[in-house]
């Protein structure tokens, strides 16, 4: 029996399939670029992506990423910041050079005045030398004050650059509506699992989606979308273990990474989250009316059952699609070990 899948899950599966068909490497930045192109939210990106032709080189994909997804190529941002810092440091060094010259001139003048004083034969010569020394001292004080102002101005510019870089670093992996991580953070975490292909990090990954379509019509979901995102994002932030990674991928889909190789512990933590969904009532943001409880469906894959970030992401998406297609309120674990019966890829349970 065919089941209707959610559009976001369907897009994710199409992306994984399309990448393999086009021979695109399973890099997180490639996945995000192709996902954005298939989602169709940016017509210019879609047009330029199609213009690359059937076979797309990595260089062409990266060029497209720099244009439409600049966060993927944060090195260029850091290079611009580093260039600005280098320029400001050059200005600072110029000030130091001027200060050194000034000190040299000042020292020479004092030396000359001292010689005159020591060899003075009369009051006239001594008085002239002392006056010259006094004028030099006054000029030195003025110059020092100007130097302090210039250094303070340069320091303020440097502080501004450092603050900008710190804000950029902090926000590029955050989903503003929920204060959870974003899809960028999820992709980066998945890539880190397989940073050493011969010894991948042992962990569990889940992609979950709020089953809003089981209770609301598409029009109602659209009207409540912002409230649903902030409400359930906040709920996840409150109850999800602080040591694990929770992100909002898009819409009402969330991603999780559990730092454990124990599958039962992963499913236990997901069940705790699902229990919170069942106990926390959703209320209409306009009227305060109780809208009941929404459920959560999830697809899980352990890292030892996939060979790359793209594989584990695809496995979780497939498991989630199966859970949604079976009616929702399910957790499906993707497996390909000896414990899976022949001809089956799924371990399914309903809380």
Q: Domain ends where: 171, 201, 223?
A: 171
**Residue 302 confidence (pLDDT):** 94
Give pLDDT, residue 344.
43
Q: What is the pLDDT of residue 342?
A: 34
Residue 38 lies in a domain: no
Residue 113 lies in a domain: yes
- Beta-carbon contacts of residue 151 (< 8 Å; ≥ 6 apart): 92, 95
264-308 confidence digits (pLDDT tens): 999 999 999 999 998 888 988 888 889 888 999 999 999 999 988
185-190's contacts with Cβ under 8 Å and 24+ in sequence apart are 185/245, 185/247, 186/245, 186/247, 186/249, 186/255, 186/257, 187/28, 187/29, 187/31, 187/32, 187/309, 188/28, 189/245, 189/247, 189/257, 190/28, 190/257, 190/309, 190/312, 190/313
d(CA 27, CA 118): 79
Same domain, 153 and 86: yes
* 193 lies in the same domain as 254: yes
Residue-range definition of the domain harbouring residue 257: 175-349
- Tell me: do 85 and 192 sit in the same domain: no
Kindly state whether residues 116 and 181 are assigned to the same domain: no
Residues 264 and 158 in one domain: no
**Is position 224 within any domain?**
yes
Which residues of the chain have a pLDDT value below 50?
Answer: 1-6, 336-344, 351
Residues 244, 150 share a domain: no
Q: In the prediction, which pLDDT does 146 show? A: 74
CA distance 227 to 156: 40
* Spatial CA neighbour of 324 closest among 294, 297, 300: 297
| In a shared domain, residues 272 and 284 | yes
Question: What predicted TM-score, i.e. pTM, was given to this entire model?
Answer: 0.58
Same domain, 252 and 104: no
Is 8 part of a structural domain of the chain?
no
Here the CATH number for the domain that contains residue 340 is: 3.30.70.270
Give the tens place of pLDDT for each residue, 94-138.
666 666 666 666 666 666 666 666 565 555 666 666 567 667 766
**How many structural domains compose the chain?**
2
pLDDT of the residue at 338: 34
What distance in Å separates the CA atoms of residue 72 and residue 149, rounded to the nearest whole number?
39
């Amino acid at each position: 029996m065919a089941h209707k899948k959610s559009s976001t899950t369907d897009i994710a599966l199409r992306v994984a399939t399309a990448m393999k068909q086009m021979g695109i490497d399973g890099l997180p930045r490639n996945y995000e670029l192709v996902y954005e192109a298939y989602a169709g939210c940016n017509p210019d990106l879609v047009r330029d992506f199609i213009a690359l032709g059937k076979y797309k080189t990595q260089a062409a994909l990266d060029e497209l990423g720099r244009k439409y997804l600049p966060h993927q190529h944060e090195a260029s941002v850091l290079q611009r910041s580093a260039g600005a810092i280098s320029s400001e440091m050059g200005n600072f060094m110029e000030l130091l050079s001027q200060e050194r010259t000034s000190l040299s001139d000042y020292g020479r003048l004092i030396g000359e005045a001292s010689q005159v004083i020591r060899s003075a034969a009369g009051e006239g010569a001594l008085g002239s030398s002392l006056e010259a020394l006094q004028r030099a001292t006054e000029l030195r004080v003025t110059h020092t004050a100007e130097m302090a102002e210039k250094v303070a101005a340069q320091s303020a510019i440097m502080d501004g650059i450092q603050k900008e870089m710190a804000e950029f670093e902090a926000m590029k992996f955050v989903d503003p509506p929920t204060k959870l991580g974003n899809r960028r953070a999820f992709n980066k975490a998945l890539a880190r699992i397989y940073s050493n292909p011969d010894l991948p990090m042992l962990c569990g990954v889940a992609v979950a989606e709020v089953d809003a379509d089981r209770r609301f019509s598409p029009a109602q979901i659209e009207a409540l979308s912002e409230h649903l995102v902030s409400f359930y994002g906040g709920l996840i932030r409150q109850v999800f273990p602080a040591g694990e990674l929770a992100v909002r991928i898009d819409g009402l889909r969330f991603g999780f990474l559990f730092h454990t190789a124990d599958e039962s512990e992963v499913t236990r933590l997901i069940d705790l989250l699902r229990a919170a969904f069942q106990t926390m009532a959703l209320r209409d943001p306009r009227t305060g009316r109780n809208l009941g409880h929404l459920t959560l469906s999830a697809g899980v894959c352990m890292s030892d059952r996939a060979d790359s970030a793209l594989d584990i992401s695809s496995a979780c998406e497939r498991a989630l699609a199966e859970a949604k297609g079976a009616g929702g309120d399910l957790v499906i674990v993707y497996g390909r070990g000896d414990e899976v019966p022949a001809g089956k890829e799924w371990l399914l349970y309903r809380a």
